[in-house]
Every structure is written in structure tokens, then in C-alpha cells.
Structure 1
């Protein structure tokens, strides 16, 4: 088994969310920016999750986090949430 690299996932997230029209005030506003829409997948080592799975696992739908003003902010919240949930190493 190959351990996932949180920084690799973060980089993929920043790249995927870079095209969003900021500020973003809800998760649905990100979908047009994603290369494969809701089927967009992020992978590192043995880790693989679609954007919808990431959102659920990281509690990314938490409305208290919005609005987002840039892709780095979104990526940090998702990676932190995945680490808190035990999906990615800290």
C-alpha cells in the first residue's frame, strides 16, 4: 500500500478550483470549474476520491466556511477535513 501525500492532494485541489469565479458562496458554484464536473477525482498513493466523496468525507458542505475567496483556502479546508476524518495522514 502506498500512503497518500496530503500535499499532492492539496495541489490537485488548488489546480481544479483555480477556475472558479470567486468569491464562492456554496459548493455548487465550484462544479463548472472542475475538469470533469462532479466526476472529478483526486488521487495520491492508494487514495482516490471524487469531489463529491471529498466533500462528504471532509465536511466540505459546512456553510460556515463560505464564502471562499481563492483556491488555496478551499484546498486547505478540504485537506484539513480529510486529515481530521482520518482519510489522509497528518
Structure 2
């Protein structure tokens, strides 16, 4: 996975989740911030998934609560790498 794809995904996650009411205590706290709810898509290079697919993939990786968007996005990126998706 190229650094460009990872950087683009990171920016998309940050933009999508920055409107959440932090701290967030579970995945459901993030849904109102998403522009298209659970159907919001994240796409970069050959990588594409919906927020719902992302939530299923990250189950077990996330450590709620998150105090900031950067803390959340950092964890999402680590989990995607651990799952071999980026």
C-alpha cells in the first residue's frame, strides 16, 4: 500500500469523524458525524469500503473512549494495517 493511499484515507477519516461529539464511547457515537451515515464510503487507490464495513473490520481493535479525532483516526489506521487492508 502506498503512503499516498494511507494519507488519503487518513484525511478522509479525519474529515468524516471530526464532527463527532468527543469523547466518543462507542461506534454508534460516530454515525451522526458521517455525511451519509453508515453508507459513507472511504476510497483511495484500490481500497474502498463503507463506514459499516469499516466498523465490522475494526471490531476488537478499537479502544473506546476516544477523546479526539486524531486519537480515533490513529487507531483506525493501525487497525487497518493490522488487518492487512493498507
Same topology, TM > 0.5: yes
Do the aligned partners of 2:31 and 2:37 also contact (CA within 8 Å) in 1?
A: yes
1:27 aligns to what? 27
Structure 1: distance between partners of 2:23 and 2:32? 14
Q: What is the TM-score with the length of structure 2 in the denominator?
A: 0.88
Higher relative contact order (CA 8 A, sep 6+): 1
- What stretches of structure 2 of length at least 5 have no aligned partner? none
Root-mean-square deviation (CA), in Å?
1.9
Paired residue secondary structure (1:48) = strand
1:74 aligns to what? 72
- What stretches of structure 1 of length at least 5 have no aligned partner? none
Please identify runs of 4+ aligned residues in structure 1 that moved more than 4 A.
Answer: none
- Number of residue pairs matched by the alignment: 85
Do the aligned partners of 1:55 and 1:78 also contact (CA within 8 Å) in 2?
A: no
